[in-house]
Amino acid sequence: MRIAVAGAGAFGIKHLDALSRIEDVTIPAVVSRTLEQAKQTADKYGAPMASTNLEDVLASPDVDAVILSTPTQLHAAQTIATLAAGKHVQVEIPLADNLADALHVRDAARDSGLVCMVGHTRRFNPSHQWIHQRIQRGELSIQQMDVQTYFFRRTNTNALGNPRSWVDNLLWHHAAHTVDLFAYQCGEPIVAANVLAGPTNPSLGIPMDMSVQLKTASGQLCTLSLSFNNEGPFGTFFRYICDNGTYLARYDDLFTGNEEPIDVSKVAVSNDGIELQDREFVRAIRDGDAPNSSVDSVIACYEVLGALQVSLDQN
């Protein structure tokens, strides 16, 4: 299977590393903002094509599918263009930065008959899979999730600390991970959602601090704190408070509530959530069915985010 990658930033590299570990997958092309970066990255991963233009890749008969790790504001339009070119697509989270665009992508995916997957990585991290499997077996029930998403980004930089050409978003990007995961783990829709935002940063034009509260139909709760002002450990940290134990998930790693490590090595074929996500993309294309985190399966998350955005706009 020939899978091109558009975007050679922090997450594009993670996908390229993951694809290089998946059997019978080749990387025919790399797209980046500068030709120099595209060529350097293509050479490293053995891709014969390097370009600054996604359209070149979409026109190539040597490409079966595309992973989009491009700026958030491009996700919806590029996903629709990729589907229109007859290529399967996995777009990094978030699907879009507004509900209308997310719904347009959903409709285009349904019409195309192609695999259209969104990079909701938390569904694939072994730590969260370990929890999910026990919920499915009836061994656990979530009472509350307490989640902290903390970065220090008072300047416009990416996860590697390099200058970014676009502005990130706490609600549509970082909250999307938790909103989707909470409903996925609970197996229920979110019926109540509230949001508060701190002051808008004058240079970035976004709120730097945010608080989100969620509730399912049966009363399971989620409290999410987000900040771009945090000086300390960076990332997203999940505390699952369950009827049968408390668990701490830090990306692919899992601990008890008392910080005792839990072995998740047997959960899946890899301990890398991005690799597991990409393996699911490949599997869905080969099997001709919907992947976990298909557009249809995650669209409820964007409906919640849309409602939260309306609340922010009104206040």
Residue 108 located in a structural domain:
yes
Which of the four pLDDT bands, split at 50, 70 and 90, describes residue 313? very high
306 and 167 in a common domain: yes
Residue 46 in domain: yes
Task: Answer yes or no: do 165 and 309 share one domain.
Answer: yes
Widest CA span of the chain, in angstroms? 53
Segment 10-16 long-range contacts (CB within 8 Å, at least 24 positions apart): 10/158, 10/159, 10/160, 11/69, 11/92, 11/119, 11/159, 11/274, 12/41, 12/67, 12/69, 13/41, 14/274, 15/67, 15/69, 15/274, 15/278, 16/41, 16/44, 16/45
Highest mean pLDDT among 8-12, 59-63, 158-162: 59-63
Residue 31 lies in a domain: yes
- Residue 203 in this model has a pLDDT that exceeds 90: no
Tell me: pLDDT of 161 over 70: no
Considering the domain architecture, whether residues 166 and 104 belong to the same structural domain is answered as no
Min mean pLDDT across 35-44, 91-100, 148-157, 216-225 is at 148-157
The domain spanning residue 169 has which CATH number?
3.30.360.10
Look at residue 224 and tell me whether its pLDDT is greater than 90. Answer: yes
- Whether 81 shows a pLDDT value over 90: the answer reads yes
Q: With 70 as the cut, is the pLDDT of residue 160 above it?
A: no
Is residue 241 included in any domain, yes or no? yes
261 pLDDT band, cuts 50/70/90, is very high
Say what the pLDDT of residue 233 is.
Answer: 85
Residues 163 and 307 in one domain: yes
Q: Say whether both 228 and 281 belong to one domain.
A: no
pLDDT at 234: 87
CB-based contacts of 18, cutoff 8 Å, min separation 6: 272, 274, 275, 277, 278, 279
Q: Where are the alpha helices (DSSP H) in 22-163?
A: 35-45, 54-58, 75-84, 99-112, 126-136
In the chain, the number of structural domains is: 2
Answer yes or no: do 137 and 205 share one domain: yes
Considering the domain architecture, whether residues 117 and 201 belong to the same structural domain is answered as: no
Average pLDDT in the chain:
96
Report yes or no on 105 lying in a domain: yes
Whole-angstrom distance, CA of residue 58 vs CA of residue 51:
11
Judged against a pLDDT cut of 80, whether residue 159 lies above it is answered with no
CATH code, domain carrying 87: 3.40.50.720
Q: How large a percentage of the chain has pLDDT more than 70? A: 97
- Whether 296 is covered by a domain: the verdict is no
Q: Please check whether residues 186 and 207 belong to one and the same domain.
A: yes
Local confidence band at 154 (pLDDT 50, 70, 90 cut-offs): confident
Both 100 and 157 in one domain: the answer is no
**Mean pLDDT, range 239-252, rounded to an integer:** 97
What angle do the packed helices 273-287 and 126-136 form, to 10 degrees? 60
Give CA torsion, residues 55, 56, 61, 62, to 10 deg. -120
| Structural domain includes residue 232 | yes
Same domain, 31 and 176: no
Tell which residue, 118, 105, 98, 80, has the closest CA to residue 281. 118
pLDDT at residue number 158: 62
Helices (H) and strands (E) in the chain, counts: 9, 14
Q: 103-112, 226-235, 294-303: which has the minimum mean pLDDT?
A: 226-235
**Does 165 have pLDDT greater than 90?**
no
Tell me if 80 is assigned to some domain. Answer: yes
CA distance 109 to 79: 9
Read off the tokens for 228: 């771009």
Tell whether 282 and 254 lie within a shared domain: no
Answer yes or no: do 241 and 285 share one domain: no
Q: Which domain holds residue 114?
A: 3-121+274-291
Q: Is the pLDDT of residue 107 over 90?
A: yes
What pLDDT, on the 0 to 100 scale, is given for residue 277?
98
